[in-house]
Chain A
């Protein structure tokens, strides 16, 4: 895990990955598995929510749909302009 993750991160971001949060989360996960500690569970939840928020900080380029387009499965129509 270590060297491969380092290589991928360096190739993508130009720096070594910071795995401290993942290590804390792993510790919390094991603690919860062993003792069902509420504190560990809350820390894990908080960390995951923060990670999701971090991913959403860039505004999306396009407007999201509520459901797939109605005509997704139709074959291409030669006459209709797209």
Chain B
């Protein structure tokens, strides 16, 4: 891919790629006190909580440099934010796993995955919105999801805001109501555990149905 296409596809967000051609990092920069080590620790804690989700798409295994978690290690300093971001990215991985998603050429596919990720990862819970000083209540979650999806699209693709808004509006109804792998959107970890229990019992459920 040439330079322009790389920027267009968001490849410049990969910090490892940017470092290509420069000196390799020395031993000290990989030591205990770096963000990298803290990040790995938080990610490991996150995995133990996320095990249920991992089993939904049975073979999903994400590494820090992989396409879905590229931004995590750069900016996260708190475990709850880590949980949220990892869930968000795993929704993308799940979509990639279960459908032919054309991430780079079809903006509606990207919009759909972003809507689902904003909906199902807890990005748009009331508390998180209040923390961002957005105090809407009635049906505000949908506005939050719409804005979050548009922001995410603009962050990784070189398109204008109108195109992103149009794509999100076109697929909103279909994607907002698609709660896979959850049956109903979980609002806390207890509900997520219920969803995992439903997944474990799915054979019996479908046999009974």
**Contact status B138-A14, CB under 8 Å:** yes
Q: Mark B21-46, 1 if CB is under 8 A from A, else 0.
A: 00000000000000000000000000
Tell whether, in the assembled complex, residue A11 and residue B126 are in contact, meaning their CB atoms are under 8 Å apart.
Answer: yes
Q: Which residues of B contact A (CB under 8 A)?
A: 1, 5, 9, 14, 17, 20, 57, 59-61, 63, 65-67, 95-104, 108-109, 112, 126, 137-142, 171, 173-175, 177-179, 185, 187, 208-209
B115 and chain A: residue at smallest CB distance = A61
Total A-B residue pairs with C-beta atoms closer than 8 Å? Answer: 82
Q: Inside 8 A of A60's CB, which chain B residues have their CB?
A: 99, 174, 178
The answer to whether B141 touches A12 (Cβ under 8 A) is yes
Residue numbers of A with Cβ under 8 A of B are 4, 7-8, 10-14, 45, 48-49, 52, 55, 58-65, 68-69, 72-73, 75-76, 78, 81-82
Quick check: B109 and A65 within 8 Å, CB to CB?
no
When distances are taken between beta carbons in the complex, the residues of chain A under 8 Å from B5 are 81
* Contact A68 B59, CB 8 Å, known A61-B171, A62-B99: yes
Q: Could you tell me if A82 and B187 are in contact, using CB atoms closer than 8 angstroms?
A: no
List, in ascending order, chain B residues with CB within 8 A of A59's CB: 174
Contact indicator A73/B99 (Cβ below 8 Å): no
List the A side residues contacting B171 at CB < 8 Å. 61
Contacts of A11 in B (CB 8 A): 126, 137-141
Which residues from chain A contact B141 at a C-beta distance below 8 Å? 11-12
